DNA sequence: CGCGAACTTGATATTTGTCAACTAAGGTGG
DNA sequence: CCACCTTAGTTGACAAATATCAAGTTCGCG
């Protein structure tokens, strides 16, 4: 079976065949979850670490008025919560966006693995640091860009992240997310997302049909929204270029 | 000398006297930095971990048009970058806001400490997880609240964080930050910050004079902006109340 | 084929930004 | 200790971005 976790980690650290074997052992028992199902609720203290193997999930919080903010997208290869062992309780909820395949990894399995295999420990730490860098970039995105660039930036990020796990080709990928959810991610309403997508289409930046996003000119979209993937720390990429596109 | 790092860590983990001694050894050599000086630049790979002992610093990124987003405030007791050992290069800049006292800790000193003292390792990991939780809360703040609540929420957070290191009393603290910088933190202009502060003043939520913020009715401000400090994971606080204020 | 969810559109309201001027405050040198 | 000078804070008028509400329309699926 394809292991997106390995595909992702190889971008951050060098793994041995033995490491790969151990990581493959982790994903023997999978389960599927329908769209919009909670995986971990705020306040819980789960005994498992959840790994997404297929589909899109997200972290989110809501305000009492019902406003919702998605704070991360979890795509195949992403862990839901490596660190929950340390903190007392989840300070946010994790839920699927599309139907997902996930793995429940007992906490002790992660702890054993990291205790005995420093390369893997380092790789997992690298994951949490990339997550943090992504969070900072999202803050910049929402705080300082306007809606069109915000959306464009998210589309660029997903292109790179999905390519890293073999789920995007050179300029397109499946995007199983509604406009409402994009709005909750970018801090705008779904109506405004709709209009913004149309503007990006009109300008030839993207096509988006039946949940597939295509970016005709990747370098042009990168330039438009000032996308620089350095915050994803995919270190094995050639310096100064991204997917062959010079910055 | 007062060690805000210890004060902060005691909220997350139990420390022994020996631990405290080791942490005090870290801060023997301090240096002062003027306001608005960079500590680490984006792209650098510093050999030190920087710890703030006095003053306010921040993480930020800028866009080419000059727009700036502050992505974290670093107050006394906060580390600038525990994790830089793992990632290749800084993906953002860290600079002082007010004049600061900081400590340069060689990377190996941190690594030695965490290798040999699991309680301290756990405490430092707790720090990075709190930072991440704070980042998520800021994303919610900027994405879903409007300016007045955004500002109020930041003021509440700083009250709790500064209390945790003994730098705020029950309802007030020194806030050495300009309205421009508040704007760059909250994703609004300084003009709008100004008007929003006046609105909060008019409604009796705050007084802010000569860089000192006072919150006459803390519980009322908490309620106004839906502030819940659980994301700061100050676990030793009584459940369900914050500084004696029932949520 | 029908039904519910997602998407689209228009009109209008609200929030926030921009620009430009002015006032107040703090710090420094004489 | 004062005068000045820079920076921070304040105000007003207006423009732009985004939200809200309400009504379609299209799409995907059973």
Model pLDDT, residue B244: 44
- pLDDT-derived band of residue A88, with 50, 70 and 90 as boundaries? confident
Q: Does A68 touch chain B (CB under 8 A)?
A: yes
Distance CA A67, CA A45 (A): 24
A207 touches strand C (CB under 7 A): no
pLDDT at A125 > cutoff 90? no
Q: CB-based burial of residue B230 (10 Å sphere; 0-12 exposed, 13-18 middle, 19+ buried)?
A: buried
Chains A & B: contacts with CB separation below 8 Å? 110
pLDDT at B225 > cutoff 90? yes
**Which H or E run includes B69?**
strand B68-74
Dihedral over Cα of A53, A236, A59, B160: its sign: positive
Interface test with A, best of B64, B110, B120, B136 (most A CBs within 10 A): B136
Residue showing tokens 């982790």: A26
Among A201, A226, A203, A206, which Cα is nearest to A216's? A206
**The token pair that represents A186 in the structure block:** 């970018």
Interface test with B, best of A59, A126, A139 (most B CBs within 10 A): A139
Average pLDDT for chain A: 91
How far apart are the CA of A126 and the nearest CA of chain B, in angstroms? 6
Question: How far in angstroms lies nucleotide D21's C1' from the CA of residue A187?
Answer: 19
Among B223, B230, B224, B225, which Cα is nearest to B245's? B223
Model pLDDT, residue B240: 44
Model pLDDT, residue B1: 61
For residue A137, the chain B residues in CB contact (below 8 A) are 61, 91
Among chain B residues, CA nearest to A136: B71
Residues in chain B: 247
Distance CA A216, CA A196 (A): 17
For residue B13, the chain A residues in CB contact (below 8 A) are none
B window 118-177, beta carbon within 8 A of A: 122, 125-126, 128-129, 131-133, 135-140, 142-145
A32 touches strand C (CB under 7 A): no
For residue B118, the chain A residues in CB contact (below 8 A) are none
Helix (H, G, I), strand (E, B) or coil at B173: strand
Angle at B171 between CA B166 and CA B176, to 5 degrees: 65
Q: Does A86 touch chain B (CB under 8 A)?
A: yes
Angle at B243 between CA B100 and CA B82, to 5 degrees: 40
B119 touches strand D (CB under 7 A): no
pTM for the model: 0.93
- The highest-confidence range among A239-243, B28-32, B154-158, by mean pLDDT, is B154-158
8 Å CB contact between B230 and B11:
no
Share of chain A above pLDDT 90, in %: 73
Mean pLDDT score, A92-120: 91
Share of chain B above pLDDT 90, in %: 73
Question: How far in angstroms lies nucleotide C12's C1' from the CA of residue A68?
Answer: 25
Mean pLDDT score, A154-168: 97
pLDDT, tens digit, for every residue of B60-112?
A: 999 999 999 999 999 999 998 887 667 778 999 999 999 999 999 998 888 88
Model pLDDT, residue B122: 84
- Strand C nucleotides with an atom less than 7 Å from a protein beta carbon: 5-11, 15-20, 25-26
Distance CA A173, CA A159 (A): 7
Instruction: Name which residue leads in pLDDT, A189 or B29.
Output: A189
**The token pair that represents A217 in the structure block:** 């000119």
Model pLDDT, residue B236: 54
How far apart are the CA of B187 and the nearest CA of chain A, in angstroms? 4
Q: Cβ contact (<8 Å) for A87 and B126?
A: yes
**Pick from A39-48, B91-100, B191-200: least confident:** A39-48
A158 touches strand C (CB under 7 A): no
Mean pLDDT score, B5-25: 93
pLDDT, tens digit, for every residue of B228-240?
A: 999 999 875 444 4
Instruction: Name which residue leads in pLDDT, B52 or B83.
Output: B52
pLDDT at A45 > cutoff 90? no
pLDDT, tens digit, for every residue of B143-166?
A: 999 999 999 999 999 999 999 999
Residues in chain A: 247
Model pLDDT, residue B110: 87
Q: For residue B238, what is the DSSP state?
A: P
Distance CA A49, CA A112 (A): 13
pLDDT at A52 > cutoff 60? yes
B190 touches strand D (CB under 7 A): yes
Q: Region of B187 please: left (phi>0), alpha (psi -120 to 50) or beta.
A: left
Mean pLDDT score, A106-114: 87
Model pLDDT, residue A237: 47
8 Å CB contact between A77 and A165:
yes
For residue B145, the chain A residues in CB contact (below 8 A) are 63
- pLDDT-derived band of residue A81, with 50, 70 and 90 as boundaries? confident
């Amino acid at each position: 079976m394809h292991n997106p976790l390995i595909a992702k980690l190889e971008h951050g650290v060098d793994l041995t065949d033995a490491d790969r074997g151990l990581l493959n052992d982790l994903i023997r028992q999978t389960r599927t979850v329908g769209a919009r199902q909670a995986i971990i609720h705020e306040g819980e203290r789960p005994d498992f670490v959840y790994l997404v193997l297929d589909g899109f999930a997200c972290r989110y919080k809501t305000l009492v008025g019902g406003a919702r903010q998605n704070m991360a997208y979890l795509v195949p290869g992403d862990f839901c919560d490596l660190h929950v062992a340390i903190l007392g309780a989840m300070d946010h909820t994790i839920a699927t966006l599309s139907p997902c395949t996930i793995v429940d990894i007992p906490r002790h399995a992660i702890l054993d693995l990291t205790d005995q295999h420093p390369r893997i420990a380092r790789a997992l730490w690298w994951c949490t640091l990339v997550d943090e860098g992504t969070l900072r970039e999202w803050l910049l995105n929402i705080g300082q860009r306007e809606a069109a660039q915000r959306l464009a930036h998210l589309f660029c990020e997903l292109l790179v992240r999905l390519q890293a796990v073999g789920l995007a080709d050179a300029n397109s990928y499946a995007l199983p997310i509604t406009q409402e959810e994009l709005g909750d991610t970018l801090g705008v309403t779904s109506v405004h997302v709709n209009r913004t997508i149309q503007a990006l289409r009109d300008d030839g930046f993207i096509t988006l049909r039946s949940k597939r996003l295509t970016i005709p000119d990747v370098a042009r979209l990168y330039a438009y929204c000032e996308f620089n993937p350095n915050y994803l720390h995919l270190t094995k990429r050639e310096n100064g270029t991204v997917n062959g596109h010079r910055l």
